[in-house]
Amino acid sequence: MCGIFAAYQVPDVQAFKPKALEYSKRIRHRGPDWSGNRVANSTILCHERLAIVGLESGAQPITSSDGRYILTVNGEIYNHIKLRSQLKDYDFQTLSDCEVIIPLVEKYGLDAPQYLDGLFAWVLYDTKKDRVVAARDPIGITTLYMGRSSKNPKSLFFASELKSLVDECDNIIAFPPGNVYDSDTDKLTRYFKPDWFDEKRIPHEVVDYKAIRETFERAVRKRLMAEVPFGVLLSGGLDSSLVASIATREIAKAAHDEDDEQPEELTGMDDAGHLRLTSGWSRLHSYAIGIPGAPDLGAARKVAKFIGTIHHEHHFTLQEGFDSLKDVIYHLETYDVTTIRASVPMYLLSRKIKAQGVKMVLSGEGSDEIFGGYLYFASAPNAEEFHTECVERVKNLHTADCLRANKSTMAWGLEARVPFLDKEFLQLCMNIDPKYKLIDQKAGKIEKYILRKAFDTTDEPDVKPYLPKEILWRQKEQFSDGVGYSWIDGLKELAEKQVSDEEFAHPKPEWGSDIPHTKEAFFYRVLFDQLFPSKAAAATVVRWIPNGDWGCAEDPSGRYAKIHEAYVDE
């Protein structure tokens, strides 16, 4: 992934260009490998590149051979090889996986994003029609913002991060996932419309464990597309452990596949699902972080030993975490408590990973939303409400976990890929009757039971186990808890010292009804306002909280759920 900035219909684009380059520079951490820009008519497109696919000829912005289209993209298109074979009339200029967007828009117009399998945020400029088309991936794995200025109402701005827009725009929105924007109509249109998107529609499909397993394996396989060293974030929880286990198997298969006829200059999967790895690594590297003695560290070591990864364990102290808070909020561009708690260790770990020469990691975000894995789901009154909550959580992933995974890693030029949010996997699992997903401790059905069962090989003697039994059936531990129980407790103590009772009793008038209910939330909001003082910036923030209607604790930590059990490293 990369960083993009675009300004459309600027009054004096040449005079504005120095500003545009400065705004683009603010997100250079997302793309430290190269910078590019193109000016046409009254529009400028800028790009900060993180090179992962098409290393030698994938620089952006990409211009079509006739000069008509200019494209800047932040993303990875996993089915680009298949699309290239279908778009033979187009004169490709690069080996970039993203260039397929240009001929897709030429051929399908605003339906083009429907044909893309991957994570993306892009802006395409048609120099002939003076038209901009922009789109964001279905779930919002990739961040994108759109802004306007009351000083120049006809101008329109796009950027990967908020910080590139705050000085220019007094109206900013997070570009909605699964949407495409067309300047001809000045409208956003939803292109991603799966049947499960209607939370009132309760599915009744019978659970198919084999389908879950095979579909998820395909989701992981396609995300190994890379020409650079990569790894996996391994917390020792179910989700990241499954991703790591499958990835090690796929790498082993690819390393011994002598019949792979995929062209060497391209990286990805062919129509037969064959994978070519050009990263130069024959074994997967896994990465874990925590305060010494943290629940996740011991579990991650067990998994790494079991599946055979080259494991890297990193530690941080409470003070190191506290010292990074302002930097983390700067990169996250949020004051949400849950997101900040979990992002600090992810941010610190990403720096360690990038220092080892790694540019891409696989991560386990999305599973808890799909399967109702958060412990508060045990309080769901019935299957219907359980399902509705799952749909709402998936729809809002871009405001929390996707935002965290994207910005915590990209702060150091590290790309995170999330197999659980694969479109095919979502289509399968969001259409399973929610009665199969319900948490029923008395019946032995813990959270994410059907996912665990899909990878339980107890009754398959010829199949090598994916994970140790104690990991496959380990209770959910939220990342901000798993890195060490003292982490959240320490943050609360820090906030208590930083925010006086007098301050807490008098929130800022400009906060309106968005009043922090704890000193920790108050502390983060103050830090956010110091970094992003505009109302337009704060308006993009959405807070993550458990479903209060189910009688859940207001604190989002999983340790406050009644069924939580402290993990003990055996």
Last residue of a domain, one of 150, 169, 193: 193
Last residue of a domain, one of 144, 164, 193: 193
Of 2, 98, 169, 390, the active-site residue reads: 2
Radius of gyration of the chain from its Cα atoms, rounded to whole angstroms = 23
Q: Which domain holds residue 377?
A: 209-257+275-560
In a domain, 397, yes or no: yes
- My answer on whether 165 and 284 are in the same domain is no
- Give the pLDDT confidence score for residue 553 in this predicted structure: 67
In a domain, 117, yes or no: yes
Q: Does 233 count as an annotated binding residue?
A: yes
Look up residue 206 and give its amino acid: V
Domain count, the chain: 2
In a domain, 167, yes or no: yes
- Give the pLDDT confidence score for residue 283 in this predicted structure: 85
Q: Which residues of the chain have pLDDT under 70?
A: 1, 54, 56-58, 256-282, 476-482, 553-554, 556-570
Q: Does 97 count as an annotated binding residue?
A: yes
Question: DSSP state, 236?
Answer: S
- My answer on whether 160 and 233 are in the same domain is no
CATH classification of the domain holding 414: 3.40.50.620
Q: Which residue has the tokens 């590019």?
A: 36
Contacts made by residues 193-196, CB under 8 angstroms, sequence distance 24+: 194/423, 194/426, 194/427, 194/430, 195/431, 196/391, 196/426, 196/427, 196/430, 196/431
3-class DSSP assignment, residue 260 = coil
Q: Are 43 and 125 in contact (CB under 8 A)?
A: yes
- Give the pLDDT confidence score for residue 267 in this predicted structure: 47
As a whole number of angstroms, the distance between CA 277 and CA 176 comes to 33
As a whole number of angstroms, the distance between CA 114 and CA 108 comes to 9
- My answer on whether 410 and 502 are in the same domain is yes
Last residue of a domain, one of 161, 193, 225: 193
In a domain, 262, yes or no: no
CATH classification of the domain holding 11: 3.60.20.10
- My answer on whether 180 and 237 are in the same domain is no
Q: Is 390 a catalytic residue?
A: no
In a domain, 510, yes or no: yes
- Give the pLDDT confidence score for residue 513 in this predicted structure: 92
- My answer on whether 509 and 533 are in the same domain is yes
Q: Are 516 and 337 in contact (CB under 8 A)?
A: no
- Give the pLDDT confidence score for residue 528 in this predicted structure: 98
Written in H, E and C, the secondary structure of 18-62 is: HHHHHHHHCCHHHCCCEEEEEEECCEEEEEEECCCCCCCCCCCCE
Q: Does 363 count as an annotated binding residue?
A: yes
Token pair listed for 196: 């499960």
In a domain, 82, yes or no: yes
- My answer on whether 181 and 215 are in the same domain is no
- My answer on whether 219 and 76 are in the same domain is no
Question: What are phi and psi for residue 248, nearest 5 degrees?
Answer: -65, -40
- My answer on whether 104 and 215 are in the same domain is no
- My answer on whether 159 and 237 are in the same domain is no
- My answer on whether 215 and 173 are in the same domain is no
Q: Does 364 count as an annotated binding residue?
A: yes
